[in-house]
Amino acid sequence: MDTKISLDLPLSKERLNEINTHLSTQTPEEILKWAVDNIPGLYQTTAFGLTGLVAIDMLSKITTSPPPLIFLDTLYHFRETYELVEDVKARYSVPLHVYKPEGCLDVKQFEEKHGERLWETDEDTYDFLVKVEPARRAYEDLGVKAVITGRRASQGADRASLKPLEVDSTGLLKLNPLFQWNFHLLEWYIKENNVPRNKLLDQGYRSVGDWHSTVKVVEGQDERAGRWAGKEKTECGLHKDYFSMKAQAKVAAGAFEHLGDAVLGLSVTNLLVDMYPGLHVGPSTKIRALVVGNATLAEISLKYKLPIRLRLHHAQAITLRASTHIQADVLESFIGGLYHEQGLKAVQNWLNPLFRPYATAAYRIVRVQHGLPLLASPSPSPRSLQTPPELASAPTPMTTIGHLALFNQKLQKADCTVEWIYSDTPEAGTDGKGTAEDGTSRRGTKTTPVWYVRVLVSGEVYGSGRGNTKKAARNEAAKVGLEKMGIFVW
């Protein structure tokens, strides 16, 4: 195989095998030279371990434009590691890109955001936050197509069958130029070429990572025995296939979500039969729809911190906080899993106390819709009495029907007079300059007008609202008015 070959990405399995057959017979310098000549978008990811340092030194002798370095600063490296970074920068003229956990400059910010000792309480999420996410961000920012790693077969565990070139599930090429070298060869090269090295290696350490998960090793132990001592873990997290892991989890979650949706509907139906014997199908269907609405499910999901309890990755948790729909799906998945493991009775024992207040509120709303007077809260049947679940508090009655319609219904029954006062300029709730409390503009344009309205009930201001139509403005004001009357909406 010639040194200069064409790489058509993505690589087929046959082509990858062909390249690995060739590279397996080459020296590390020859592998690196091949990569520099043939692979576009090539970078070197390094934590400045011995293998990475040897590769940096070799590349400095192969080319005047070595691949840039990517250093993932977990914020928990040893002081000696940070000192080594400065030594390498002074010795080699190679660009260095440093990436830290998103939104965090130091340990204090990280722990304020994610909690202390996260590596103990949620190891996978810790790996994701300090290595996987920053690496993905770096690859996207820099246009990385391939990375040079410091992985070697002699490190054992998942690396024992290592090949010189790998392709992960995202199509990223991973080059392992020193895959055949052992620890003693690395030490020999470092000494012969006067390459900077971590001072901790002189203090009994052989593989250096974060300070909280690295210990000294004794004679005869594997070189990575000092990493994650006492745990089954063998990889730092960066080289795990998180995409495959998440894909498998997504399939399982989807199955439980469908199961949970069916079980939830059945459980709420049984609850309504217990609470309101003789309730007709039509009203029962409306009540059930209100009870199992996304907002209710999302509120319970958040109250029970299900994304945390289900050990979702941080990236998923960020999305969950912003999405009522997905939060509802999480609760349905949880219910499906509970049913799968413990059966319907366990699900109902947990759900009935949670949903009873929502069912009561929904029942009252449906009675109002049908023009019927409100009734006293029903007495629970003996078989529906359960101990309230921990961590939950009774929710505020909520409704999903139109705010304006419900507002008008309530006032008509109370025989109150209503007055709507319109304006095309901001009034209450602004700074007088057309800026809302949330900082957004409240002034309309020639093509998109904005209406402002205040609603007076028997002479008293009950609320104000704005919208691009008079009806939309009234609906917003009605929402505020309902809250003043003790009826909360979503």
Catalytic residue numbers, as ranges: 236
**AA identity, residue 33:** K
Cβ pair 189, 195 in contact under 8 A: yes
Q: How far apart are CA 328 and CA 294, in angstroms?
A: 5
Residue with tokens 């309230």: 388
The set of long-range contacts for 220-227, using a CB threshold of 8 Å and a minimum separation of 24, is 222/155, 222/156, 223/154, 223/155, 223/183, 224/155, 224/156, 224/157
Distance CA 326, CA 298 (A): 8
Residue 394, φ and ψ in degrees, nearest 5: -60, 130
Among residues 110, 91, 114, which one has the least CA distance to residue 100? 110
Whether the Cβ atoms of residue 75 and residue 67 lie closer than 8 Å to each other: no
Cis peptide before 10 (omega within 30 of 0): yes
Q: Please name which of 129, 177, 126 lies closest in space to residue 151, comparing C-alpha atoms.
A: 177
Kind of pairing, strands 173-175 and 146-148? parallel
